Amino acid sequence: MPNPVAPPGIHGHTLTEVLAVLALVAILAGAAVPTFAGLLLDSRRDAAVLTAMHAVHAARQLAALRGADIQLCGSSDHQSCSGTGDWSSGLLITSAGGEPERSLAIQGAAGGPRLRSNRPTIGFEAGTSFASPATLSICDRRGPTAARAVIISRSGRPRVSDRDASERPLRC
């Protein structure tokens, strides 16, 4: 039946139809929110993995190019190595002699994943690419199922894995 108020040729939707569509959109959006939260956590974890990989590559390259022993370590003040396995506050690349003016600090992301090392420092030998083998574990609130490890071999090359260097599941 034509609407006596609307001009001819113009059609609309009833309030019931509009509310039904809005309810359907709200249900679909509610179902998508957990997926987006997982994507955000994956993105933050992957950024932390890339930061750790970059730091390892940079330290390895500096040792080979400068001909000096180089250390990669966790640092909360970005001036000196913290001496602990918790590297979440940031990373520091410095000469083994600790020359702060030639250090490179990489800040950790606030509220990001937790970065832990099985060593307080990772050393790269002067003029070579040799390193002390180590594992950097990156964990977020999802625990070991979503954790990643940056495993540094004796040759100084890093690789990413969802298991530790002994192929055991990661612990967070």
The pLDDT value recorded for residue 84 is: 87
In this prediction, residue 22 has a pLDDT band, given cuts at 50, 70 and 90, of confident
How many C-beta atoms surround the C-beta of residue 62 within 10 A? 21
Lowest-confidence region among 96-110, 114-128, 129-143: 96-110
The pLDDT value recorded for residue 41 is: 92
* Nearest of 55, 56, 60, 65 to residue 130 by alpha carbon: 60
**How far apart are alpha carbons 8 and 6 in whole angstroms?**
6
Highest mean pLDDT pick, 76-85, 95-104, 122-131, 136-145: 136-145
pTM of the model: 0.76
DSSP conformational letter for 154: T
In this prediction, residue 33 has a pLDDT band, given cuts at 50, 70 and 90, of low
Distance (Å) of CA 159 to CA 11, 18, 30, 70, 154: 62, 53, 37, 19, 12
Q: Which domains does the chain have, with CATH numbers?
A: 15-161 (3.55.40.10)
Q: How many CA atoms lie within 13 A of 73 on its CB side?
A: 20
Asked whether the predicted pLDDT for residue 132 surpasses 60, the reply is yes
